[in-house]
Chains A and B, each alone.
Chain A
Amino acid sequence: MKRLARAVLALVTLRMLRRGGHKHAPPAEPPPEAEDPRAELTSDPARELAAAVLALGGAAGALAFVAAYLLSGDTQLLGLAAGAACVLLGVGMIVLSAGLAGQDRAVEERPLPQPEVPAAGELVTAPADAITRKKLLAGAAGIAGASIGAALIVPAASLGPAPALGRSPWADGRQLVDENGEPVMADAIETGSFLTAYPRGADRDILGSPVVVVRIDPAMLNPPPDRRDWSVQGILAFSKICTHAGCAVAMLRYPLYRPTEPGPALVCPCHYSTFDVTRAGEVLFGPAGRSLPQLPLRRRSDGGLEAAGPMSDAVGPAQGRVDW
């Protein structure tokens, strides 16, 4: 608080000083011998060269962005390339503009009437090498603009239909494995516990892959008639992707003593959508618009778990019904 007060005081003081400064401003000094501003413009090849190199560097960054988008898709590489492109181009512009606008404060006396206006031809007629640099500069700017334009346009490909989205690798007979790739064993899951499982041998990054496996007291189960045999020993599996905004459904609430406590439910930590585990993943609370898709389970002869069919519904966030 004290520091804040001190900062405010400093600001007020600064303001007073500035006001005072204006009042006692000394009369303007006579202008120094004004240099021809055009001389500065046309005779700084180093500056223009640097700007051109920086613009080309920016173009390289933008092209690197396109390459990274097409080849790897790593968002960190994309960010690095886009950032480099913008920074290099920006620095180039700063370098160039610093030469355009002189940094000295000067007052130019303007005699009235103006004796003679330089002919337009004088401005255009510049040394031959300056035109080359200008061409270089314009070329570099053009390349940078085209590259950055490409970097802006190429990601539009992401707006198209992504084949991986919504495709669920779950099918009849697909075994459940844990995050280490070890088979999930039915008897190892304790009542009231949950874990995340994946389809054996499938891409885990697909939205439809991760399922949350829950074991509840079978006496609490209340499934619709067509899902009576979807659980094994009270073990159920649901998509781990919330149907509201696609967050990972990471919370399970499981009552230790049902008569005085709320029933078992899966809860999404983002907006607290709550899905009834005992009844087909129906929404109990929160913004989710539809049930959490359920995966029918079957016990394997070796004690592991496998899917007894595909996921009950499209996985992931969707407004209403979406057919993939």
Chain B
Amino acid sequence: MRRASLAATALLVALALAPAPAVADDASAGHALFVERCSTCHGSDGRGVDGRGPSLIGAGAMAAHFYLSTGRMPLQSPDIEPVRSTPSFTDAQIRELVAYIASLGGPPIPQVNPGAGSYTEGRDLFSLNCAGCHQISGAGGVVTGGTVPSLDESTPTQIAEAVRIGPYLMPRFGEDQIDQHELDSIANYVVATTRHPDDAGGLALGHLGPIPEGMVAWFVAMGALLVAARLTGKRAS
């Protein structure tokens, strides 16, 4: 009861402090949409449904924007892993839903400026904190119990949101661990690496690294050498 009244107060304060009426309009339109599309799992007031979906009180615009803009929500069934797909909502609808969930309290959409970051610092941080799962090329992979998404389509904002939220099985990284400048650098590295990969050798082989490259070298190149040897050699008579 106390939490409910706190949330209600927070909602009222947020509404009262809202600088432009447009935000309040967005939030109320968002609430209508939320009840229609999200309440089965998150409850009509965003407080969650036991065993189906978490409470969104305190999730904030950050998580709402991440999950909606990457198409991970709405989820077909509560037990499946949310994966990136085409967003189910229009940009305007996402703005409304984000405004509604933001009105429940929580962190705003993080600011990130890849241009202010450094590529080399980003590479070091990515290799230290992210590459274990996402691979140094950002191509993704697996972790036991889940898949690790490729970062090919992640926008800088979505990268920053994922770092701060820790969606699904990903751990989260706070300001103490990755500060704003380091976050800018990571976004810089990811965007540069996934959008403009340095494929000097031609075929990138999915950017999966030296093991698939080595296998291709063995099986393709050795096969070619065998054919060449067979063709140029002379059979002893």
Query: Hey, which bits of chain A sit against chain B, CB under 8 A?
Result: 4, 8, 11-12, 14-15, 18, 185, 188-190, 192-195, 250-257, 259-262, 265, 267, 269, 272, 274, 284-286
Contact = CB atoms under 8 A, between A and B. Distances in A.
Contact of B52 (A256, A260, A284, A285): A260
6 contacts: A188-B176, A256-B166, A256-B167, A256-B168, A259-B50, A262-B169
A14 B234 CA distance: 12
Contacts of A185: 176
B217 interface: no
B133 A260 contact: no
A12 B232 CA distance: 8
A193 B172 contact: yes
A190 B228 CA distance: 60
B169 A261 contact: yes
B47 to A, nearest CB: 14
Interface residues on B, range: 20 to 34
Which of A185, A188, A250 has the largest number of chain B CB atoms within 10 A? Answer: A250
A179 to B, nearest CB: 8
A254 to B, nearest CB: 5
B110 interface: no
Interface in B191-237: 224, 227-228, 231-232, 234
A149 B173 CA distance: 53
B76 interface: no
B228 A11 contact: yes
A271 B170 CA distance: 19
Contact of A265 (B144, B174, B231): B144
Interface of B: 50-54, 78-79, 132-133, 142-146, 165-174, 176-177, 224, 227-228, 231-232, 234
Contacts of B146: 253, 261-262
A194 B171 contact: yes
Contact of B78 (A256, A260, A262, A265): A260
Contacts of A193: 166, 171-174, 177
B144 A192 contact: no
Contact of A8 (B144, B165, B231): B231
A4 B228 CA distance: 11
Nearest 4 CB-CB pairings of A with B: A250-B132, A262-B145, A253-B169, A190-B174
A189 B174 CA distance: 8
A256 B165 contact: yes
B171 A11 contact: no
Contacts of A256: 54, 165-169
B169 A255 contact: yes
A253 B54 contact: no
Given A251-B143, A256-B168, A259-B51, A14 B133 contact: no
A274 B144 contact: yes
B232 A15 contact: yes
Given A11-B232, A192-B172, A259-B51, A254 B166 contact: yes
B143 A253 contact: yes
Which of B145, B168, B170 has the largest number of chain A CB atoms within 10 A? Answer: B145
A251 B132 contact: yes
A59 B174 CA distance: 56
Given A185-B176, A253-B143, 20 more contacts: A8-B231, A11-B232, A193-B166, A193-B173, A193-B174, A251-B143, A253-B146, A253-B170, A254-B166, A254-B169, A254-B172, A256-B54, A256-B169, A259-B50, A260-B52, A260-B78, A261-B145, A269-B132, A269-B133, A272-B143
